[in-house]
Amino acid sequence: MTEWIKRKQRYIPKLFLSLIDLLKGMIAPGLAWLTVGMVGAHLAAVAVVLGQIYPIWGSKRGDTGITVATGAIFILSPILILVGSVIYLFSLLVTRYMVLSVFFATLAVMLFSLVFIAHVYLWVVTISVGGLILFRQQRYWRRFRRGMEPPFRWRHFF
């Protein structure tokens, strides 16, 4: 029983921080949409992802911005996040590598927004945010090419 608790203590803080990042990504465009309008929401979505990736306060290097981008685009177009989540989970099941799953899901969201969404502002947001996410994944790609990226383990996840 204590081994199970020790294993779960690693995931609880990461899950909590991911939830905070997701909410941060949802709150910024949501408030901008209510106060400024649709254009402000799109600008806030790009700004919140840029702020997560390249923070101006402190010496923290920044995050990849995936969860913040997920929350921001969920406010602008929930169907895109549904498509991206399905592709992410499917590719994670097939390949077991998170870097490949992030790549396929980001590319799918970018392409689906170009094909199925008629708003030009949303095209700009998804392409710019997707490009930023793919740019920040460079070190993981290097690790993957060298064979140092560990596969995702489904066993004992819950």
- Interatomic CA distance for residues 94 and 97, integer angstroms: 9
**Overall pTM surpassing 0.75 (yes/no):** yes
Assess contact for 49 and 69: CB atoms under 8 A: yes
Higher pLDDT, 71 or 57: 71
pLDDT the model gives residue 14: 74
Higher pLDDT, 140 or 58: 140
Q: Produce one character per residue of 13-47: b if its CB has 16 or more CB atoms within 10 Å, e if not.
A: eeeeebeebbebbbebbbebbeeeeeebbbbbbbe
Higher pLDDT, 118 or 74: 74
CA–chain centroid gap for 136, Å, is 11
Assess contact for 42 and 121: CB atoms under 8 A: yes
Task: Please compute the mean of the pLDDT values over residues 52-61 and round it to a whole number.
Answer: 78
35-48 residue pLDDT tens: 999 999 999 999 99
Task: Please compute the mean of the pLDDT values over residues 107-131 and round it to a whole number.
Answer: 90
Q: Produce one character per residue of 102-123: b if its CB has 16 or more CB atoms within 10 Å, e if not.
A: bbbbbebbbebbeeebeeebbe
